[in-house]
Amino acid sequence: MQSFPNNTAEARWTGAREVLEMSGPIILGSLSYTLMEFCDKAMVAQLGTDPLAATGSAALWSYTLATAFIGVVGCVSTFAAQSLGRGHQEHCARYAWQGVYLSLLAAIVALALWPLSGPLFHAMRHSAPVTDLELSYFRIRLFGYAAIAWGTALAAFFQAINRSMIPTYAAVVANITNLGLNYVLIFGKLGFPALGVTGAAIATIISQWVQTLLLQVIFLAPRFDREYHTRSTWQVDMTRIRELLRIGLPNAASMFLDIANWAIFTSFLVGGFGAASLAAHNIAVSFMHLSFMPAMALNQGIAPIVGQWIGRGNPDRAQQRTHTALRLAAAYMFCMGLVFAVFGGRLIDWVFSDDPQVIWLGHQMLLLAAIFQGFDALSIVSMGALRGAGDTRWMMWTMFFGAYCIFLPAATVLAIPLHGGAVGAWIGATIYIILLAGMMFFRFRSGRWREINIFGEPPARADGDSS
């Protein structure tokens, strides 16, 4: 088994600057987006428990079904980063364009999902008012599917070429747009009608298109055209599309399996215990996003870092940088776990709801979140590193086994036969996250990812830079 290099080879925190320079802007952008989602739910919560329960469930299913494209085009960063490491700058833009073309297929999928959404949400057996609100929110969000995938492909390009501040700026603009539109459309300001949950969905898709179009304009700017030929590499390239699909489809399957099992967990299991349980769950998840989104940013940041060092022919450096990212993520999430454990109930009361049942249930869930925070950090960052190396097929099968052989069965048994209710379901989730972290971390430590060559050819050059 391959172990991490000895600390004498490189100081414990050497490489933290590289990791933070790549991931720091992504962290800011992720926090900005997470804050937007957080504020969305806080605003909708003012309309009552049913709107809060419906928005969280419908938003989760919207994102779940979009991962089929997000996972594929997100691998633009894997190919672009390794191309950059090999000194092939023009190939970075070529992969970005192929990701854009693949993302346009999301619009076709969105049309197909419209008639299927009714049977999906009625099968959850939520109350009639909650189901109606879920359908309204979900169907409007379908108009943003192409924008989400398109923006993901362009953001992956900028992250791969060490320009991660650009997606951050675009995210901030989108977030400001969304918050302003939420205020106007949810509550009916400036002469607009009060649209409630529907207004929140409309604000979201407008903001998503604003973000994507802004990224496209910057991508075509003269500066990036001079360096990466972004205006002359737009041709459809079936070879590169096949490469993206070969690595991206297993990655998309992994993402889908991960998010889908949480969607099933939320809507079919936790949601079955009533609107109060579903609202408490959505509140707990909202607070968790503030914790794990920075870790997700490290996931997105470490993928191109690993890709670049592999492209330079230096996998040892890729491994060391991942170790640094793991430490950073674990330290942050451990601190957030303490906050959840000590102040969880007060935070729920202050921001979301004064319903005693919602507060009690939500705090129990946050206590469990405090237990698995550090393990979640190991899993999230390890998955980013494996994706950067192209080790997506192993992750796909691991996610399938973990989600449907461990997570959902354990959560169901603890919730229903053992009468644990929504809290029992969360205990099952805690067990799953701890086990998944172990599998992902030890896969990375095994070094099997070093044997993967996503191009099928040796690196054009080696770079032994130890900086």
CB 292 within 8 A of CB 376: yes
Let me know if residue 1 belongs to a domain: no
CA distance 13 to 325: 10
Residue 464 resides in a domain: no
Q: Answer whether residue 9 is part of any domain.
A: no
Euclidean distance between CA atoms 92 and 97, whole angstroms: 9
Q: Is residue 308 part of a domain?
A: yes
Of 54, 70, 183, which is closest to residue 127 (Cα–Cα)?
A: 54
Report the distance separating Cα 197 and Cα 182, nearest Å: 9
Q: What's the CA gap between 37 and 373, in Å, rounded?
A: 20
**E strand residue ranges, 127-248:** none
The answer to whether residue 116 is domain-embedded is yes
Count of C-beta atoms within a 10 Å radius of residue 123: 11
Compute the distance between CA of residue 121 and CA of residue 263 in angstroms, rounded to an integer: 11
In angstroms, rounded to a whole number, what is the distance separating the alpha carbons of residues 123 and 116? 11
pLDDT by residue for the chain (467 residues), tens digit each?
A: 344 444 444 555 557 777 777 766 666 666 556 666 667 777 887 888 788 778 877 887 887 778 878 888 888 988 998 898 888 888 999 999 999 999 988 888 888 888 888 888 888 888 888 889 889 999 999 998 899 899 999 999 998 898 988 998 898 899 889 889 999 999 999 989 889 889 989 998 999 899 999 999 999 999 999 999 999 999 999 999 998 998 888 888 888 888 888 888 887 888 788 888 888 888 888 888 777 777 888 887 888 888 888 888 888 888 988 988 898 888 888 888 888 888 888 888 887 777 888 889 889 999 999 998 889 889 989 998 998 888 888 988 998 898 889 999 999 999 999 988 999 999 999 999 999 999 999 999 998 888 887 775 554 444 444 33
- Predicted TM-score (pTM) of this structure: 0.74
Q: Is residue 460 part of a domain?
A: no
For the chain, the C-alpha Rg in angstroms (whole number) is: 22
Q: Which two tokens stand for residue 455?
A: 């191009």
Residue 427 located in a structural domain: yes
Which residues 6+ apart lie within 8 Å of 253 measured at CB?
71, 396, 399, 400
In-domain check, residue 7: no
Measured distance CA(268)–CA(380) in Å, rounded: 25
Q: Residue 398: which residues within 8 A CB-CB, separation 6 or more? A: 254, 436, 439, 440, 443
- Domain hosting 380: range is 16-451
**Domains identified in the chain, total number:** 1
